[in-house]
Structure 1
Amino acid sequence: MAEENDQEQQDKPTGKRKKLLFIGGGAAIIIIAVVVIWLFSGSSESGQGQSNGGQASQVSADSSDAPEVGNALYVGMPRPFVFIVPGDARERTVQIKVQLMVRGEESEEQVKRHIPLIEGTLHEVFSSSTAEELKTVEGKTKLRELALQEVRNALESVAGPGLVEQVLFTSMVMQ
């Protein structure tokens, strides 16, 4: 009987052994996760450098002058535009939230510096519309295009041409 109890105690792992197994298993999982992340993130960068050869340095030198094509940034207007437009039976209150799409961080900074000018321009454009125009998709599209044109014109005189690529309506409510 005493021999069976001794054998059962030897078969069961002790508290220290359990801790070591737990710590070792956790460390193995962390090491595997780090290796997987390193392989996925490192493979795309090293593959691009090897396939381009000497062209990589030439492309980076050329791209410093012009903003990257895929580097779209969005500048949100700090407040939604709220204005009243005439309608068939009565005047309507409209609220529009706007974001501007720009290319490159330099353009983003210039647009942020001129937000008061942009807000004033957009408010003039929006308040000149009617409720009937804003009810249709075509009317909203025309308003967006007119807003883009007017913002570009206003910014061209103070910051240069081509800062804003698109004017996006992220929300529009009409009551």
Structure 2
Amino acid sequence: MAEEVELEVKPAKSKLPIIIALVVVVLVGGGVAAWFLLGSTPSVEESAAASEQKPVAASAKIGDALYVAMPRALDFMIQGASRPRTVQIKVQLLVRGQDAEQLARKHIPLVEATLHKTFSATTEQELVSLAGKERLREQALSDVRETFLNVEGQNVVEQVLFTGFVIE
């Protein structure tokens, strides 16, 4: 009536060698990719040895050019031909040496106030031409220098640079 069927149970093939081979391939491939992407960058030990051999950093010299960015863009309104216009100018100061940099950073609120006063006195016609922007930059430099002479008794800023300029 009923026949008995005998089932053979075969031991499962081990997948461990395949997994190990895949892990090795991934690690080797990752190492090769990292070597190509990173190139021959010096190790931490090489960098430390190189920095010991270099003299004092270039920014520590007295006459080095350093840039002091105003922490925020200066926004102000001017009267346009048909309507009031909003202007936004991003400014950086070029100074020479760390002492001048520290003085400029110390007086950032004063510099911002001086620049706001200078920029607010301009007109739309001056801001749309390259020559007008250059005159505004020179006037800003003159006003900032005068402010530093009054406060610190010395000229601190070499140039006022416009790094962003938007008129809406």
Deviation at 1:129, TM superposition (A): 1.4
Letter in 1 for 2:148: L
In structure 1, C-alpha distance between the alignment counterparts of 2:67 and 2:34, rounded to whole Å: 31
Identify which of 46, 62, 65 aligns with 2:61: 65
In structure 1, C-alpha distance between the alignment counterparts of 2:158 and 2:69, rounded to whole Å: 10
Residues 119 and 35 (structure 1 numbering): CA distance in 2 closer, same or farther, change over 3 Å? same
| Aligned residue number for residue 170 of structure 1 | 164
1:21-170 matches, cutoff 5 A = 21-33=21-33, 35-36=35-36, 37=38, 39-41=40-42, 56-57=54-55, 60=56, 64-66=60-62, 68-69=64-65, 72-85=66-79, 89=81, 92-102=84-94, 107-159=100-152, 160-163=154-157, 165-170=159-164
In structure 1, C-alpha distance between the alignment counterparts of 2:117 and 2:15, rounded to whole Å: 75
TM-score w.r.t. structure 1 length? 0.62
| Aligned residue number for residue 3 of structure 1 | none
CA RMSD of aligned residues (A): 3.6
Q: Which runs of 5+ in 2 are unaligned?
A: 1-9
Give the length in aligned residue pairs: 149
Q: Which runs of 5+ in 1 are unaligned?
A: 1-5
Letter in 2 for 1:17: P
Report the structure number with the largest CA radius of gyration.
Answer: 2
Q: Among the aligned pairs, what percent are the same residue?
A: 22
Residues 17 and 148 (structure 1 numbering): CA distance in 2 closer, same or farther, change over 3 Å? farther
Q: Answer 1 or 2: which has greater helix percent.
A: 1
Q: Find the residue that maps to 1:40 and give its secondary structure.
A: coil
1:115-172: CA deviation from partner (whole Å, max 9, x where unpaired): 2211111111112212221221211121122112222332344354334533214132
Residues 18 and 161 (structure 1 numbering): CA distance in 2 closer, same or farther, change over 3 Å? farther
